[in-house]
Amino acid sequence: MCQVSELKEIIEYRGHTLNINDVREQLKSFKNSDGSPYFSVDELERQVQRYIMRWKRCIGRMEGSINREKYQCFRLAFYLKERELYPEAFETKVDDRTAELLVKKLYRHFYDVRSDFTPPVRFYGNRQSGKYYSVGFIRLCHNPSIGLICHEVAHRKFKRHNKKMLKFMKKLINYCAEKGYIKS
């Protein structure tokens, strides 16, 4: 009959392996100043589980940095997905005045708001970035793409990046294409 200490426990995670028995032996070697074990049996198992979770978190961070390099600094896969689905919308850029008019038209058409209320648009920077502020304004870069404008307008309805937001963005982009803002 085989004892538990003789079993070789190995965890594989994203191509990396961890021998749990080595971790246990390392934690058992910790002693108090009087020579007694530092961890009790229950505390030892909790520490092993903490070690495993820290190990997985470190691997996730390493993989995340690889993905950032691979996907050109997009923090979320959502940004990559929308740029793959609607490349012509993200390539078509408009000037600041047209961007303000486009935001007004999209708000009037897709949201049940009065025509005199649309959030003010503020322009900042040139990095093709934007932000929807729930306090009542949208920040866009100078000369934004139509895809970026639709993305920020969609944030009024959806706070998080999900499939519903992507579907709503498709409606916004199709509206812009019908009105002739997007050039094929």
Q: Flag whether 184 is in a domain.
A: no
Q: Are residues 11 and 62 in the same domain?
A: yes
Does the pLDDT at position 41 exceed 50?
yes
Give me the pLDDT at residue 143, please.
92
Residue 108 lies in a domain: yes
Considering the domain architecture, whether residues 66 and 144 belong to the same structural domain is answered as no
Residues 151 and 173 in one domain: yes
180: left (phi over 0), alpha (psi -120 to 50) or beta: left
> Is residue 91 located within the same domain as residue 130?
yes
Residue 35 and residue 91 in one domain = no
Residues 24 and 107 in one domain: no
Domain, as residue range, for 32: 4-70
The answer, yes or no, to whether residue 3 has pLDDT greater than 50, is no
Answer whether residue 110 is part of any domain: yes
pLDDT number for residue 124: 87
Q: Which two tokens stand for residue 165?
A: 């937001």
Mean pLDDT of the chain: 82
- The answer on pLDDT for 69 being more than 70 is no
**Each residue of 136-147: pLDDT tens digit?**
788 999 999 999
Judgement on whether residues 164 and 149 belong to the same structural domain of the protein: yes
| Domain identity same for 93 and 8 | no
The most distant pair of C-alpha atoms in the chain lies apart, rounded to whole Å, by 81
Q: What is the pLDDT of residue 125?
A: 81
List residues bridging with 37 in a β-sheet. 31
Domains of the chain: total: 2
Residue finishing a domain among 26, 48, 70: 70
Q: Does residue 56 share a domain with residue 14?
A: yes
- Identify the domain boundary among 48, 70, 92: 70
Give the domain CATH number at 162.
Answer: 3.30.2010
DSSP state of 46: H
Q: Encode pLDDT of 99-144 as tens digits.
A: 999 998 998 888 876 655 777 888 888 777 788 787 778 899 999 9
Same domain, 139 and 104: yes
Which residue matches tokens 């709503």?
168
The answer to whether the pTM exceeds 0.85 is no
Q: Is residue 32 part of a domain?
A: yes
Distance CA 121, CA 4 (A): 65
